[in-house]
Structure 1
């Protein structure tokens, strides 16, 4: 079973380490968050996300335990600089207030990455790879928003040098836990385009083939352009423009396979992360995304959020987060959600991105009637959820987040 495989790969390697076997070239990394929370109504914590929005502002607004454990093993290093590696990752996701039994309803254990690669000077130091992997993922941390994410199972070549530039190509069939039908996808990426001092541009083209096994499917494509400015206010700034048609409306990943070429999406994203002083850091996100679809099925999504952090000592911060999401559908009322969190935090350092962090949080949210009407039954914003017919509510709890 896949769940047994995903546990067995890292566990077997750790057992080998404990037994003193050769661990030359072994790298171990991971990410994790875990906590417990409740709501102002006395029930379990229920998280706030606007129906139709592809993300939520996550501080004090995550209702699951999630862990990733990754091992990267160097198998061979030649005298000419050729390097062969294998990579494996196990992940665990479990909703709060569920028993720790890994089923489709209570939790999931899987193997999101299992791939091998060879890097060689004979290929201009490019890397040829094959398998299932997280591929060139771009995300905004405060929303866990993977706006550019061509991950999947396939083969590719990374960072082939063309003068000062780097060219990459990947052929994949996107492989997400919820996706039943898959289409062939070709991703071309050009990086290393220096635009100014400490600034560079990355360009991407995704071409998605028609899936013959899916009735009514179409082909599609998308373009992405991202400018990164290092050193901005002691951190960095990202500015992103994306456009897609047909299944390319997923922009960072494959969208609905039955979407016709008359369906189009564009997105503009701005996200600075700052560390102005050793004590004061933070991140901001501003997004506008518009989808045009036949029969007035399109919509426009607006999002703005900010998470400032101030460290009073080496190990104590106060972190707050505000997020606003709004969706204007072509037909129907405008949906709105505002969410605010305050979180006294114990940390291993003063900087905004220092982890681990242990947070005590309080979250308050308000939403309008159109958002309530569009919400799935039983979710936080619906009238059958924890907060009933009210259009406001709050959660509180404790969360640990770490990476290594």
Structure 2
């Protein structure tokens, strides 16, 4: 098989070639002959590794042991991933933070849904996904000092819990634009979805696909954020969102009936506090409430993703979601660091009631998922660290483990080599060898809730204990 014979690999080759050409041009062209010289920044997050299941011998690379449906509960089993980013300074960069700037940013990402990742024939036909996550322009300090404007598609979000791989509180990554002036941040984000059904599309002729005569609409999200900074590095952050889905209807030619989607809306309010504890230590606490069509609150979900099901009118007027997070890092001198989190999601769906004709509504009920975990990192030397992790997680939702609470306890030990050195949790790259043991309760074991359990189970046999032996390199620069 040649490289060009597989479309996905061909696309990957073209993306990588583009990055290489830009990097070479930036590094080799004289300043007076190229815009790229001294104006290009290339950064990347990436991870690659392999894994074994000592008990079954099954292929488990990238199969999470978590029951939450996300990385909440620990991320070390995540699959291979590459995310290069290119930033081009259209104005010459300056060390003066008040100087005008105009930046263009583009961020592709690459990951496989199954199989090994990077080799030219490693995937053997398995789907390799290449996505464009960011492409936007930002300009600042031009019309007014401290005034910034941006437009395009970007990671419009704030802090994350790295060991649980979740951006929380204000994860509104999407396509749109915004204005930032000092502590005030305003934006308009668009959200759509493809395929028939759901909140965004209506299949007028009922053929199961979207045709030219079918209806599509988009969600418009208005966002306002304000960060009030205090002395000693503390800050308070307020968040408000308004989601609007307009009515979209058409008269069907076959029978003259007016069909389509009714208008819907939702709103979000949130508050977050950041406490600077000195020496790189901090504690972040946040809570967020989302209503109606903005009720997305479950592991890894954004507020865009309404919880539960729509009522008989196709709107989410009963839905609500709450997210609460506490995340802290404490550095004990230069010998040991402790990073820990507690995350809770609660969602309410369609309640049991009757519609205008007296027909009963669909009962969806409530759902909940949570995770608490900690990573301790002991620094034997600048280059040799020892990581230990403990996570406890659970999910209770209709359709998962017969609606019972499914839980998992995960324990990990990970000797780590840090070639560039540093006594900090953020030093990279990491070369890790790690072993994780997972212990599932009866509901999770019988329900085979996690992807790992589904892979290693023999003909539906319950999986009470899981073993994951892996090695990985993780980097960012």
Determine the structure 2 residue equivalent to 1:189: 225
* 1:187-209 superposed Cα distances (whole Å, 9 cap, x missing partner): 11111x13563210111111111
Change (3 A) 1:271 1:170: same
1:256 equivalent among 306, 322, 325: 306
CA–CA separation in structure 2 for the residues paired with 1:380 and 1:149: 27
Please state how far the C-alpha of 1:82 moved relative to its aligned partner: 2.8
Residues 169 and 189, structure 1, Cα contact 8 Å, conserved in 2: yes
Secondary structure, counterpart of 1:380 in structure 2: helix
Residues 152 and 176 of structure 1 are in contact (CA less than 8 Å); yes or no, is this contact kept in structure 2?
no
Match of 1:74 in 2: 89
- State the alpha-carbon separation in 2 of the partners of residues 138 and 234 from structure 1: 15
Cα offset, 1:327, TM superposition: 2.2
Residue of structure 2 in register with 1:322 after alignment: 390
Q: How far apart are the structure 2 equivalents of 1:123 and 1:371?
A: 56
On the 8 A contact 2:67/2:408 being kept in 1, the answer is no
Question: Residues 218, 349 of structure 1: CA spacing in aligned structure 2 closer, same or farther, 3 A cutoff?
Answer: same
Q: Distance in 1 between matches of 2:282 and 2:454?
A: 38
What is the deviation of 1:123? 3.0
Say whether 1:349 aligns with 2:422: yes
Matching residue of 1:381: 453
SS at structure 2 position matched to 1:197: helix
Cα distance between partner residues in 1 of 2:462 and 2:166 = 29
Structure 1 distance, partners of 2:186, 2:16, is 31
1:149 matches 2:171: yes
**Is contact 1:60–1:396 with CA below 8 Å preserved after alignment?**
no
1:33 paired with 2:47, answer yes
**Relative to 1, partners in 2 of residues 1:154 and 1:226: Cα closer, same or farther, differing over 3 Å?**
same
Structure-2 change in CA distance of 1:54 and 1:99 (3 Å): closer
Secondary structure of 1:113's counterpart equals strand
Match of 1:297 in 2: 365
* Structure 1 residue 367 corresponds to structure 2 residue 423: no
Q: 1:51 to 1:395 in 2, by over 3 A?
A: closer
Of 257, 265, 275, which aligns to 1:229? 275
| Match in the other structure for 1:168 | 185
Cα RMSD of the aligned pairs, angstroms, is: 3.2
- Structure 1 pair 216–322 and aligned structure 2 pair: CA distance change class (3 A): farther
Deviates most, 93-102 or 174-183: 174-183
Give 1:362 deviation, angstroms. Answer: 0.5
Q: How far did 1:95 drift?
A: 4.4
Farther off after superposition, 306-315 or 6-15: 6-15
CA contact (8 A) 1:6 1:111 kept: no
Q: How many Å apart are 1:137 and its aligned residue?
A: 3.2
Q: Which of 391, 395, 407 is the aligned partner of 1:336? A: 407
Q: Which has the higher strand share?
A: 1
* Residue in structure 2 matched with residue 43 of structure 1 by the alignment: 58
**CA 1:6–1:176 in 2, change beyond 3 Å: closer, same or farther?**
farther
Q: 1:56 aligns with which of 72, 78, 81?
A: 72
Counterpart CA distance in 2 for 1:355 and 1:286 is: 25
Larger Cα-atom Rg: 2
| Pairing of 1:2-21 with structure 2 (within 5 A) | 3=11, 6-7=15-16, 10-20=19-29, 21=34
Query: Quick one: structure 1 residues 78 and 196, their matched pair in 2 at CA, closer, same or farther if it must change by over 3 Å?
Result: closer
Aligned to 1:65: 80
Q: Which has the higher contact order (CA 8 A, sep 6+)?
A: 1
1: CA distance between counterparts of 2:230 and 2:28? Answer: 51
| Distance 1:6-1:99 versus aligned 2 partners, 3 A rule | closer
How many Å apart are 1:98 and its aligned residue?
A: 3.9
Of 9-18 and 106-115, deviating more is 9-18
CA–CA separation in structure 2 for the residues paired with 1:288 and 1:39 = 30
Q: 1:284-341 CA distances to partner (integer Å, 9 max, x unpaired)?
A: 0112222122224312223210000001111111101111111234782111111111
Contact preservation (8 Å) 1:337, 1:365: yes
How far apart, in 2, do the equivalents of 1:380 and 1:297 lie? 28
Alpha-carbon distance in 2 for matches of 1:86, 1:99: 29
Take 2:124 and 2:28, find their aligned partners in 1: how far apart are those partners?
A: 32
Q: Aligned pair in 2 of structure 1 residues 77, 233: CA closer, same or farther (>3 Å)? A: closer
Q: Is the 8 A contact 2:445 2:463 kept in 1?
A: no
Count of residue correspondences: 396
Looking at structure 2, the residues matched to 184 and 385 of structure 1 have their Cα atoms a distance apart, in angstroms, of 43
Cα deviations by residue, 1:122-145 (Å, 9 ceiling, x for unpaired): 233221111111112331001001
C-alpha distance in 2 between matches for 1:189 and 1:78:
27
